[in-house]
Amino acid sequence: MSPETLALEVDEVSVRFGGNLALEDASFSARPSEITGLIGPNGAGKTTMFNVITGLLTPTSGRIRLDGRDVTDLKLHKRARAGLARTFQRLELFSMLTVRENIRVAADTRKRWARDNDDPGQLTESIIERVGLTPVADARVTSLPTGQGRLVELGRALACKPRVLLLDEPASGQDDNETARFGELLVALAKEGTAVVLVEHDMSLVMDVCDQLFVLNLGRMIAHGEPTSVQHDQAVLDAYLGTTRTVA
Protein backbone atom coordinates (compact mmCIF):
# COMPACT_ATOMS: atom_id res chain seq x y z
CA MET A 1 0.00 0.00 0.00
CA SER A 2 1.39 3.39 -0.92
CA PRO A 3 1.12 6.15 1.72
CA GLU A 4 -1.10 8.13 -0.66
CA THR A 5 -3.86 5.54 -0.32
CA LEU A 6 -3.86 5.48 3.49
CA ALA A 7 -6.25 7.46 5.65
CA LEU A 8 -4.46 6.29 8.81
CA GLU A 9 -0.95 4.94 9.26
CA VAL A 10 0.52 3.72 12.54
CA ASP A 11 4.26 3.23 12.13
CA GLU A 12 6.15 1.03 14.62
CA VAL A 13 4.48 2.44 17.72
CA SER A 14 5.67 1.40 21.17
CA VAL A 15 4.14 2.37 24.51
CA ARG A 16 5.94 1.69 27.77
CA PHE A 17 4.35 1.93 31.22
CA GLY A 18 7.27 1.75 33.63
CA GLY A 19 9.03 -1.47 32.80
CA ASN A 20 6.09 -2.91 30.86
CA LEU A 21 5.61 -2.66 27.10
CA ALA A 22 1.93 -2.24 26.28
CA LEU A 23 2.71 -1.90 22.56
CA GLU A 24 5.93 -2.98 20.88
CA ASP A 25 6.80 -1.74 17.37
CA ALA A 26 3.17 -2.17 16.31
CA SER A 27 2.19 -0.99 12.83
CA PHE A 28 -1.10 -0.97 11.00
CA SER A 29 -3.02 1.11 8.48
CA ALA A 30 -6.54 1.90 7.31
CA ARG A 31 -7.70 2.88 3.85
CA PRO A 32 -10.57 5.15 2.86
CA SER A 33 -13.81 3.33 1.96
CA GLU A 34 -12.82 0.22 3.92
CA ILE A 35 -13.48 -1.31 7.33
CA THR A 36 -10.30 -2.37 9.10
CA GLY A 37 -10.56 -4.70 12.05
CA LEU A 38 -8.11 -4.49 14.95
CA ILE A 39 -8.63 -7.64 16.99
CA GLY A 40 -6.90 -9.64 19.67
CA PRO A 41 -7.44 -11.25 23.08
CA ASN A 42 -8.23 -9.18 26.17
CA GLY A 43 -5.18 -7.17 27.21
CA ALA A 44 -3.62 -7.32 23.74
CA GLY A 45 -3.23 -3.52 23.53
CA LYS A 46 -6.14 -2.56 21.27
CA THR A 47 -7.55 0.26 23.39
CA THR A 48 -4.00 1.46 24.11
CA MET A 49 -3.53 1.71 20.35
CA PHE A 50 -6.70 3.78 20.01
CA ASN A 51 -5.52 6.05 22.83
CA VAL A 52 -2.23 6.64 21.04
CA ILE A 53 -3.94 7.36 17.73
CA THR A 54 -6.30 9.90 19.27
CA GLY A 55 -3.66 11.55 21.44
CA LEU A 56 -4.78 10.38 24.89
CA LEU A 57 -1.42 8.62 25.21
CA THR A 58 1.98 9.70 23.92
CA PRO A 59 3.91 6.84 22.31
CA THR A 60 7.37 5.99 23.58
CA SER A 61 8.38 5.68 19.94
CA GLY A 62 6.77 5.52 16.50
CA ARG A 63 4.64 7.86 14.41
CA ILE A 64 0.94 8.42 13.61
CA ARG A 65 -0.15 9.82 10.23
CA LEU A 66 -3.56 10.95 8.97
CA ASP A 67 -3.83 11.30 5.20
CA GLY A 68 -0.04 11.29 5.09
CA ARG A 69 0.29 14.09 7.67
CA ASP A 70 2.30 13.34 10.79
CA VAL A 71 0.01 14.08 13.77
CA THR A 72 2.06 12.35 16.48
CA ASP A 73 2.68 15.60 18.32
CA LEU A 74 -0.77 17.17 17.78
CA LYS A 75 -3.20 17.74 20.67
CA LEU A 76 -6.47 15.79 20.80
CA HIS A 77 -8.67 18.60 19.48
CA LYS A 78 -6.37 19.22 16.54
CA ARG A 79 -6.51 15.55 15.58
CA ALA A 80 -10.30 15.78 15.69
CA ARG A 81 -10.18 18.78 13.38
CA ALA A 82 -7.90 16.79 11.09
CA GLY A 83 -10.69 14.22 10.67
CA LEU A 84 -10.37 11.74 13.53
CA ALA A 85 -13.25 10.60 15.76
CA ARG A 86 -13.78 7.67 18.12
CA THR A 87 -16.13 5.86 20.45
CA PHE A 88 -15.12 4.24 23.73
CA GLN A 89 -15.24 0.72 25.14
CA ARG A 90 -17.05 2.14 28.15
CA LEU A 91 -19.97 4.36 27.17
CA GLU A 92 -19.08 8.04 27.46
CA LEU A 93 -22.33 10.01 27.18
CA PHE A 94 -23.66 13.24 28.70
CA SER A 95 -25.98 11.54 31.14
CA MET A 96 -28.19 14.58 31.88
CA LEU A 97 -28.92 15.21 28.21
CA THR A 98 -31.28 13.64 25.69
CA VAL A 99 -30.24 11.67 22.64
CA ARG A 100 -30.72 14.74 20.45
CA GLU A 101 -28.80 16.98 22.82
CA ASN A 102 -25.87 14.57 23.03
CA ILE A 103 -25.45 14.57 19.26
CA ARG A 104 -26.16 18.30 18.95
CA VAL A 105 -23.28 19.08 21.34
CA ALA A 106 -20.86 17.49 18.89
CA ALA A 107 -22.47 19.18 15.89
CA ASP A 108 -22.28 22.60 17.58
CA THR A 109 -18.66 22.02 18.58
CA ARG A 110 -17.75 21.12 15.03
CA LYS A 111 -19.45 24.27 13.72
CA ARG A 112 -16.97 26.41 15.62
CA TRP A 113 -14.04 25.24 13.51
CA ALA A 114 -15.53 23.69 10.37
CA ARG A 115 -15.11 25.46 7.05
CA ASP A 116 -18.46 24.48 5.60
CA ASN A 117 -22.01 25.78 5.87
CA ASP A 118 -23.57 22.75 7.56
CA ASP A 119 -26.38 23.64 9.92
CA PRO A 120 -25.82 21.84 13.27
CA GLY A 121 -29.54 21.29 13.79
CA GLN A 122 -30.04 19.71 10.38
CA LEU A 123 -26.88 17.62 10.77
CA THR A 124 -28.13 16.37 14.14
CA GLU A 125 -31.53 15.37 12.78
CA SER A 126 -30.04 13.57 9.78
CA ILE A 127 -27.72 11.57 12.02
CA ILE A 128 -30.52 10.65 14.44
CA GLU A 129 -32.52 9.29 11.53
CA ARG A 130 -29.59 7.51 9.98
CA VAL A 131 -28.55 5.59 13.09
CA GLY A 132 -32.15 4.69 13.91
CA LEU A 133 -32.73 6.78 17.02
CA THR A 134 -35.72 8.86 15.91
CA PRO A 135 -38.21 7.12 18.27
CA VAL A 136 -36.03 7.95 21.29
CA ALA A 137 -34.57 11.27 20.19
CA ASP A 138 -36.07 13.17 23.14
CA ALA A 139 -35.32 10.52 25.76
CA ARG A 140 -32.54 11.02 28.29
CA VAL A 141 -29.67 8.71 27.47
CA THR A 142 -29.78 7.18 30.96
CA SER A 143 -33.13 5.60 30.03
CA LEU A 144 -31.71 3.76 27.02
CA PRO A 145 -30.48 0.17 26.88
CA THR A 146 -26.77 -0.22 26.21
CA GLY A 147 -27.26 -1.07 22.53
CA GLN A 148 -29.00 2.23 21.83
CA GLY A 149 -26.45 4.06 23.96
CA ARG A 150 -23.79 2.76 21.59
CA LEU A 151 -25.71 4.30 18.69
CA VAL A 152 -25.82 7.65 20.47
CA GLU A 153 -22.05 7.57 20.86
CA LEU A 154 -21.68 6.63 17.19
CA GLY A 155 -24.01 9.48 16.23
CA ARG A 156 -21.96 11.93 18.24
CA ALA A 157 -18.79 10.77 16.47
CA LEU A 158 -20.50 11.11 13.09
CA ALA A 159 -21.48 14.71 13.93
CA CYS A 160 -17.76 15.50 13.64
CA LYS A 161 -17.89 14.23 10.03
CA PRO A 162 -14.68 12.19 10.42
CA ARG A 163 -12.50 10.79 7.69
CA VAL A 164 -11.22 8.15 10.13
CA LEU A 165 -13.71 6.63 12.58
CA LEU A 166 -12.38 4.50 15.45
CA LEU A 167 -14.96 2.24 17.13
CA ASP A 168 -14.06 0.44 20.37
CA GLU A 169 -16.38 -2.56 20.89
CA PRO A 170 -19.44 -0.78 19.46
CA ALA A 171 -21.58 -3.93 19.27
CA SER A 172 -21.33 -4.60 23.00
CA GLY A 173 -24.83 -4.70 24.48
CA GLN A 174 -26.57 -5.13 21.11
CA ASP A 175 -28.79 -8.08 20.29
CA ASP A 176 -28.41 -10.03 17.04
CA ASN A 177 -30.82 -7.84 15.06
CA GLU A 178 -29.22 -4.63 16.31
CA THR A 179 -25.78 -5.97 15.46
CA ALA A 180 -26.88 -6.89 11.93
CA ARG A 181 -28.29 -3.40 11.34
CA PHE A 182 -25.18 -1.87 12.85
CA GLY A 183 -22.98 -3.84 10.46
CA GLU A 184 -25.02 -2.59 7.51
CA LEU A 185 -24.56 0.97 8.74
CA LEU A 186 -20.79 0.55 8.99
CA VAL A 187 -20.61 -0.82 5.46
CA ALA A 188 -22.63 2.15 4.18
CA LEU A 189 -20.36 4.62 5.99
CA ALA A 190 -17.29 3.02 4.49
CA LYS A 191 -18.76 3.14 0.98
CA GLU A 192 -19.08 6.90 1.39
CA GLY A 193 -15.32 7.18 1.86
CA THR A 194 -14.88 6.89 5.61
CA ALA A 195 -12.00 4.78 6.91
CA VAL A 196 -13.61 2.73 9.70
CA VAL A 197 -11.38 1.01 12.27
CA LEU A 198 -13.21 -1.56 14.35
CA VAL A 199 -12.13 -3.10 17.66
CA GLU A 200 -14.68 -5.81 18.37
CA HIS A 201 -14.98 -9.20 20.08
CA ASP A 202 -18.05 -10.23 18.06
CA MET A 203 -16.18 -12.29 15.49
CA SER A 204 -19.27 -12.83 13.35
CA LEU A 205 -19.59 -9.07 12.87
CA VAL A 206 -15.86 -8.70 12.26
CA MET A 207 -15.79 -11.42 9.61
CA ASP A 208 -18.92 -10.09 7.92
CA VAL A 209 -17.94 -6.45 7.53
CA CYS A 210 -14.15 -6.07 7.63
CA ASP A 211 -12.06 -5.74 4.48
CA GLN A 212 -8.81 -6.42 6.33
CA LEU A 213 -7.75 -7.48 9.81
CA PHE A 214 -4.78 -6.72 12.02
CA VAL A 215 -4.26 -8.92 15.07
CA LEU A 216 -2.57 -7.77 18.28
CA ASN A 217 -1.34 -10.06 21.01
CA LEU A 218 0.61 -8.93 24.07
CA GLY A 219 1.30 -5.59 22.41
CA ARG A 220 2.72 -7.01 19.18
CA MET A 221 1.11 -7.28 15.78
CA ILE A 222 1.08 -10.98 14.93
CA ALA A 223 -1.02 -11.16 11.76
CA HIS A 224 -2.51 -9.06 8.97
CA GLY A 225 -4.61 -9.93 5.97
CA GLU A 226 -8.09 -10.59 4.66
CA PRO A 227 -10.50 -12.04 7.24
CA THR A 228 -10.57 -15.51 5.69
CA SER A 229 -6.78 -15.85 5.80
CA VAL A 230 -6.41 -14.40 9.30
CA GLN A 231 -9.18 -16.71 10.50
CA HIS A 232 -6.94 -19.72 9.85
CA ASP A 233 -3.59 -18.20 10.85
CA GLN A 234 -1.94 -20.49 13.40
CA ALA A 235 -0.46 -17.63 15.43
CA VAL A 236 -3.93 -16.10 15.73
CA LEU A 237 -5.49 -19.42 16.74
CA ASP A 238 -2.83 -19.92 19.39
CA ALA A 239 -3.28 -16.39 20.75
CA TYR A 240 -7.06 -16.71 21.03
CA LEU A 241 -7.61 -20.34 21.84
CA GLY A 242 -4.36 -22.24 22.21
CA THR A 243 -5.81 -24.74 19.72
CA THR A 244 -6.11 -25.35 16.00
CA ARG A 245 -9.80 -24.38 15.87
CA THR A 246 -10.97 -21.66 13.53
CA VAL A 247 -11.55 -18.22 15.04
CA ALA A 248 -15.21 -17.47 14.30
- What's the CATH code of the domain at 70? 3.40.50.300
Q: What is the domain range of residue 60?
A: 1-83+163-176+187-248
Grade residue 246 by pLDDT with cuts at 50, 70 and 90. very low
- Are 21 and 130 within one domain? no
Tally the domains of the chain: 2
Residue 182 lies in a domain: no
- Are 101 and 74 within one domain? no
Residue 181 lies in a domain: no
166-177 residue pLDDT tens: 999 999 888 899
Helices and strands, counts by H and E, the chain? 9, 10
- Are 144 and 104 within one domain? yes
- Are 2 and 106 within one domain? no
Mean pLDDT calculated for residue range 34-48: 94
- Are 169 and 66 within one domain? yes
Quick one: pLDDT at residue 116? Answer: 83
Quick one: pLDDT at residue 232? Answer: 87
Residue 2 lies in a domain: yes
Whether the pTM exceeds 0.85: the reply is yes
- Are 213 and 169 within one domain? yes
Quick one: pLDDT at residue 136? Answer: 97
Q: What one-character-per-residue DSSP string does 96-130 give? A: TSBHHHHHHHHHHHHHHH-SS---HHHHHHHHHHH
- Are 245 and 169 within one domain? yes
Q: Which residues contact 237 (CB under 8 A, 6 or more apart)?
A: 243, 244, 245, 246, 247
| Amino acid occupying residue 3 | P
- Are 144 and 170 within one domain? no
Is residue 2 over pLDDT 90? no
- Are 28 and 71 within one domain? yes
Residue 137 lies in a domain: yes
